[in-house]
Amino acid sequence: MGIEQGELFGLLGPNGAGKTTLISVLSTIVRPTTGHATVCGHDVGRDQDAVRKCIGVVFQDPSLDDELTGEENLDFHGRLYGIDAETRARRIDEVLDLVELIDRRHDLVKTYSGGMRRRLEIARGLLHRPEVLFLDEPTLGLDPQTRRRIWNHILDLKDSYGTTIILTTHYMDEADQLCSRIAIIDHGKIIALDTPEAMKAALGGDLLELGIADPDPEFVKTIRSVPEVAQVSVQEDKLMVTVENGESFIPRLLSYAHDHDAPIGWVSMRKPNLEDVFINLTGREIRDEAIKEPGDRIRIFLRRKNK
Amino acid sequence: MNFIGTVYTLWLRETTRFKRNKSRLIGSMALPLLFLVVLGAGFGGFFRYRGNVSYMEFIGPGIVGMSLLFSSMFGGLSVLWDKQFGFLKEILVAPVSRVGIMAGITLGNVTTSMLKALVFLVALLLTGLVRVDFTGILLAMLFMVLISASFVALGIAFASRMSDPHGFQLIMNFLIMPVFFLSGALFPLEGLPGWLTVLTYLDPLTYGIDGLRFAFGGPHQFSPLMNLVVLVSFLGTTTVVGVALFKRMTA
Ligand SMILES: Nc1ncnc2c1ncn2[C@@H]1O[C@H](COP(=O)(O)OP(=O)(O)O)[C@@H](O)[C@H]1O
Ligand SMILES: [Mg+2]
């Protein structure tokens, strides 16, 4: 697979899918065991220094120095990337402004909230104007309001600098809203790669849900025989129908129901989301595995023990 | 980025953090002070060595060495906390030389260890426990830097292979105590039982402290040149090992 310059590319998958591992390989933190990858034309295994020069990374786990101020963290980074004093000072102002941390610049990072730390890390990732920026779960564990602000910052910087951004997330809506293309990863393998729109369209239309228990098989058969219907699945107390142009299909559906005397309690329609794409691909819900931190650790721990 | 720039950046960070933590400076003085005052007063009455040297005067240089040993070895701890808090990733993903990073961390820790030891040394000078002329000060500083740099590099070598800061603290204590007690910081090297003589001669800190005793014009065992040669070789060894292990470290 390849990622284009200036693209905002999403790696989507449940926890433990291998997103962080992939980022670690691409950012030269971990050497690949098999296969090879190039970033900005340089091999990540052999030409580490050249790769490091052209990337910025916002790691999934915190990576700030708590005992330095926000500004000092940025200054350290700028020096390490060989940015001269004048440019450094100007860019520090600029990125702090972008992530709205100007007024907290002289405070120690240990006094920052989770969202502020994340914003500072994003600002730091931008400071040296990398060609490619990796963002590993940039909004993990943040409240919805902060998430939305970070999304805006990410979109901003794509527009202002034309940076190629590779973002990982296990939030479907995040990938959907932000990314021009996404790869869905599961168990260390890419199982789908396309634009979010195309992925959703591939499901075959809108999702209709009918509240009906034990539907008449004849009724189900009738629905299946409609050419626009892509999929029908019978669940405990409802019927799920994937169909093109759901709006205009509802009246027809109701008339079929009338013909078969099927007692429909309610009807709902929604556009499919990436969650539906994932379920369709894997048969599982992504949420099953997207659990919070402490449990996650235990799970990983158990997995190791079981090996 | 150039090598010097990398070293300076890492050095700047260590010293900035140190400036913020005055309590650490005070805290680091407590143990040496306790040793000096309590042991000095406690054993003072029995101590007869080369005429008129009091026990407190005798252990003064030894305690300076102790302060250096402790703070330098624990320099590796900062690397481990960086691993723990993820900051090491930020450092290692930067396009700079690993040797430069290691050199910067080492110099930063040598600086802070030296400051702690110098505060202590000034206290010794003010109380008249140590008397020294200008060349003596320069020579003492040289020995102090050599002691500090060797043990910082050793600490970083250990830290490169470990991940748990608490485990590191445990191992360091296991290592520091024998190195300190066998160094002749607290007793003269003359007239020891044979086995103890062998052990003291194997301890690199022995030569550092003996060098300090010489610099302060006190009774010493070896020639200063020999002390220098041993210390420089020890520094060379720990640096080579430290660099090799640090280079292979992953965050
Ligand atoms: N391609 C792969 N092949 C084998 N194991 C992998 C692969 N990708 C990831 N893993 C393993 O899966 C585990 C979780 O990976 P991680 O990258 O942390 O997942 P995520 O960031 O998607 O939550 C790690 O222990 C990692 O070693
Ligand atoms: Mg991850």
Q: Is the pLDDT of residue A304 over 70?
A: no
The one-letter amino acid code at A135 reads L
Residue bearing the CA closest to ligand 1, atom 1? A188
Domains of chain A: 2-198+290-302 (3.40.50.300), 205-271 (3.30.70.100)
- Which residues partner with A243 through β-bridges? A206, A229
Q: Which ligand has an atom closest to residue A188 CA?
A: 1
Identify the pLDDT of residue A271.
86
pLDDT-derived band at A285 (thresholds 50, 70, 90) equals low
Residue A58: which of A5, A171, A135, A169 has the closest Cα?
A135
- What radius of gyration, in Å, describes the C-alpha atoms of chain B? 18
Alpha helices by DSSP H, chain B: 3-20, 22-34, 40-44, 55-73, 75-84, 87-92, 98-126, 134-161, 165-181, 194-202, 204-215, 224-248
- φ, ψ of residue A209 in degrees (nearest 5): -120, 130
What letter does residue A108 receive in the DSSP assignment?
B
DSSP, collapsed to helix, strand or coil, labels residue A181 as strand
Query: Which two three-digit tokens encode residue B34?
Result: 């306790």
Identify the pLDDT of residue B93.
93
A55 touches chain B (CB under 8 A): yes
Q: Is the pLDDT of residue A286 over 70?
A: no
Q: Which ligand has an atom closest to residue A16 CA?
A: 1
Q: What is the mean pLDDT of residues A260-281?
A: 85
Searching chain A, which residue's CA lies closest to the CA of residue B82?
A65
Closest CB from B17, B93, B250 relative to A68:
B17
Identify the pLDDT of residue B182.
95
The lowest-confidence range among B36-50, B80-94, B116-130, B236-250 is B36-50
Query: Which two three-digit tokens encode residue A298?
Result: 């235990």
Domain ranges of chain B: 3-247
Buried b (16+ CB within 10 A) or exposed e, B197-229: eebbbebbbbbbbbbbbbbbebbbbbebeebbe
- A208 versus A104: which is more confidently predicted? A104
User: Distance between CA atoms of B120 and A296, rounded to whole angstroms?
Assistant: 48
- B197 versus B27: which is more confidently predicted? B197
Q: Is the pLDDT of residue A265 over 90?
A: no
Residue bearing the CA closest to ligand 1, atom 4? A188
User: Distance between CA atoms of A182 and A278, rounded to whole angstroms?
Assistant: 12
Query: Which two three-digit tokens encode residue B218?
Result: 């006190």
Q: Could you tell me what percent of chain A has a pLDDT over 70? A: 92
Q: Indicate whether residue A297 lines ligand 1 (CB < 6 A).
A: no
Helix axes B98-126, B22-34, angle to 10 degrees: 60
Identify the pLDDT of residue A188.
85
Distances (CA, A) of B108 to A166, B101, B120: 35, 11, 19
Q: Indicate whether residue A28 lines ligand 1 (CB < 6 A).
A: no
The pLDDT tens digits for B150-194 are 999 999 999 999 988 899 999 998 999 999 999 989 888 888 888
Look up the pTM and report it.
0.84
Please, what is the average pLDDT of chain A? 85
Buried b (16+ CB within 10 A) or exposed e, B113-134: bbbbbeebbebbeeeebbebee
Searching chain A, which residue's CA lies closest to the CA of residue B104?
A80
Q: Which residue's structure tokens are 């379920």?
A: A279
User: Distance between CA atoms of B159 and A79, rounded to whole angstroms?
Assistant: 25
Identify the pLDDT of residue B44.
76
Do residues A279 and A285 lie in contact, with contact meaning Cβ atoms separated by under 8 Å? yes
- Say how many Å lie between the CA of residue A278 and the centre of ligand 1: 18
Closest CB from A62, A66, A76 relative to B13:
A76
**Residues contacting residue B105 through CB under 8 Å, at least 6 positions apart:** B10, B14, B75, B78, B79, B156
- Report chain B residues whose CB lies below 8 A from the CB of A80: 1, 6, 9, 91, 94, 96
Q: What is the mean pLDDT of residues A179-186?
A: 92
Q: What angle do CA A249, A251, A256 make, to 5 degrees?
A: 90
Query: Which two three-digit tokens encode residue A225?
Result: 């025989």
A57 touches chain B (CB under 8 A): yes
Q: How many CA atoms are closer than 13 Å to the CA of A144, on its beta-carbon side? A: 1
Q: What is the mean pLDDT of residues A180-197?
A: 90
Q: What's the ipTM?
A: 0.89
Q: What is the mean pLDDT of residues A20-29?
A: 92
Residues 76-95 of B with CB under 8 A from A: 82, 85-87, 89-95
Q: Which ligand has an atom closest to residue A24 CA?
A: 1
Identify the pLDDT of residue A296.
41
User: Distance between CA atoms of A48 and B96, rounded to whole angstroms?
Assistant: 10
Minimal CA separation from B241 to chain A, in Å: 22
Q: Could you tell me what percent of chain B has a pLDDT over 90? A: 61
Do residues B153 and B113 lie in contact, with contact meaning Cβ atoms separated by under 8 Å? no
DSSP, collapsed to helix, strand or coil, labels residue A137 as coil
Sign of CA dihedral A237, A241, A246, A248: negative
- Which residues partner with A238 through β-bridges? A211, A235
The residue length of chain B stands at 251
Minimal CA separation from B161 to chain A, in Å: 16
User: Distance between CA atoms of A175 and A179, rounded to whole angstroms?
Assistant: 5
Ligand 1 atom at shortest distance from the alpha carbon of A300:
25
The pLDDT tens digits for B138-152 are 999 999 999 999 999
Q: What is the mean pLDDT of residues A279-300?
A: 54
Q: Label residue B54 left, alpha or beta by phi (over 0 means left) and psi (-120 to 50 means alpha).
A: beta
Tell me, rounded to whole angstroms, the distance of Cα A33 from its chain centroid. Answer: 25
Q: Is the pLDDT of residue A239 over 90?
A: no
The pLDDT tens digits for A63-106 are 999 999 999 999 999 999 999 999 999 999 998 988 889 999 99
Q: Is the pLDDT of residue A289 over 50?
A: no
Residue bearing the CA closest to ligand 1, atom 2? A188
Q: Is the pLDDT of residue A288 over 60?
A: no
Identify the pLDDT of residue A293.
41
